[in-house]
Amino acid sequence: MPAHRGTETAGAARIADGELARRIAAAGGRPGDAGPAGDGPADGGRTNDAEAELCRRYTRRLVAFGRSRLGSEDAAHDLAQDTLLLTLEKLRAGEVREPEKIGAFILGVARTLAGRRRQREARLAPIDDADRHLVTPALTPPDPIARQRVSGCLEKLPETGKAVILLTFYAEQPSRAIADSLGLSSQNVRVIRHRSVARLRDCLGVGEEAA
């Protein structure tokens, strides 16, 4: 199965997440103190690379998490950025005890922030937008597959499957709404969606992407 891989930060592409976290923790301080990547001292550049790579690896996961928990695209992006910013601050301050488990740490931060958001409890100190921009990369949408290929594969689906796929991914309708409008049960919609997505993946050769 062909895999699409995005551009990875030079010098950090094959490093384990835990090693990236350790590098950030070892450098401490803000990345700006060491100057922009490539211009400042060697360690400062490496830290910037490590921070950028760690953010790149987790942004998409965090946005998916945010969508699932908060139900809003904007809120999901804000949550991803706030989570990464807080994670970097904790790493720089040496407050992450097990850097090799940085994924679990990031998830924990995200859950905490999502919980606070949902419950409208105590607000975090406002995060400067300039800081957000500095440390967390904008999440670029995935490169769409060539339209002709997508169209050809959609055409191979039964009409109901095609409708469910389009209403899910384009109209962004939940199963219940699709079921009501098409006279199906919600469970039936989910089964149709599972089967149709599996067929589309096979037809389009979509496997694992750069996370």
Residues that bind another protein (CB under 8 A): 1, 3-4, 57-58, 60-61, 64-65, 67-68, 71, 101, 103-104, 106-107, 111, 141-145, 147, 150-151, 154-155, 158-160, 162-163, 165-175, 177-178, 180-183, 190, 193-194, 197-198, 200-202, 204, 206-211
To another protein, the closest distance from the beta carbon of 105 in angstroms equals: 9
CB of 40 to another protein, least distance (A): 29
- The CB-of-128 to another protein minimum distance in angstroms stands at 26
Shortest distance in whole angstroms from residue 113 CB to another protein = 14
- Cβ-based nearer residue to another protein, 34 or 52: 52
Q: Which is nearer to another protein, 37 or 165 (CB)?
A: 165
Shorter beta-carbon distance to another protein: residue 44 or 53: 53
Taking the complex as a whole, the smallest distance from the CB of residue 126 to another protein amounts, in Å, to 26
Dist CA 97 CA 190 (whole Å): 41
CA distance 40 to 29: 14
Residue 29 vs 158, nearer CB to another protein: 158
Please identify, using beta-carbon distances, which residue of 48 and 87 lies nearer to another protein.
87
Say which residue the tokens 């997508």 belong to: 150
Closest distance of CB 156 from another protein, Å: 12
Residue closer to another protein (CB basis): 9 or 175: 175
The C-alpha atoms of residue 68 and residue 97 are separated, in whole angstroms, by 28
Burial level of 195, CB count in 10 A (0-12/13-18/19+)?
middle
